[in-house]
Amino acid sequence: MPEIVSNQLPVLEFLQRRVQGTSRPEDRTHMRYPTAISELLDFEIVAIGSGTATVGVDVDAACHGNQQGTVHGGFLVELADAAIGTAHSTLMGPEESFTSIDLRAVFLRPVWRDTLLAHAAPTHSGMTITHYHCDIVRRSDGKLVATATSTVMTLRGDRATGR
């Protein structure tokens, strides 16, 4: 876990400022944003709330495709995982982190080229374990492309160190 600095913002406030376009260069939080994988894949947080997140990305099978010529299912799973992780990070305090325990995806229709939106929200929240559901839809027509469910474990104290 990164070093805690007294002027850091809570994750939710930090991400809200980024989404609203009001962030300042000196804004910091204890988690890494943007994440390296999200930058690599051009994911963008488009909406954020306490325990919820919507992450968007423009896809094209020419760049993100599989052998059938559609957007790769693994890319869709990574998008869902990014939305779920972002949602859960909004609930983390300075000495907390988290890890995914499982992730399951169901693919419903192919995508060739579009903007995808992955919306994650908890279905059950406990003290340590939270269950999430994530819908991935096409922006062009709002049709559901895939769904994912995940179980996330909150880590505290020594268990959060280095994560």
* Span 11-39, average pLDDT: 94
Closest listed residue to residue 144, CA positions, set 106, 113, 98: 106
- Does a structural domain hold residue 46? yes
Can you give the CATH number for the domain in which 70 is found? Answer: 3.10.129.10
Is 6 contained in some domain?
A: no
For residue 105, being part of any structural domain is answered with yes
Domain extent for 111: 11-160
Model confidence at 1, pLDDT cuts 50, 70, 90, reads: very low
pLDDT tens digits, 29-79 = 999 999 999 999 999 999 999 999 999 999 999 999 999 999 999 999 999
Per-residue pLDDT tens for 87-120? 999 999 988 999 999 999 999 999 999 999 999 9
Residue of 76, 72, 100 lying closest to 86 (CA atoms): 100
CB 14 within 8 A of CB 23: yes
On whether residue 53 sits in a domain, the answer given is: yes
Number of domains in the chain: 1
Q: Per the domain annotation, does 84 fall within a domain?
A: yes
4 occurs within a structural domain? no
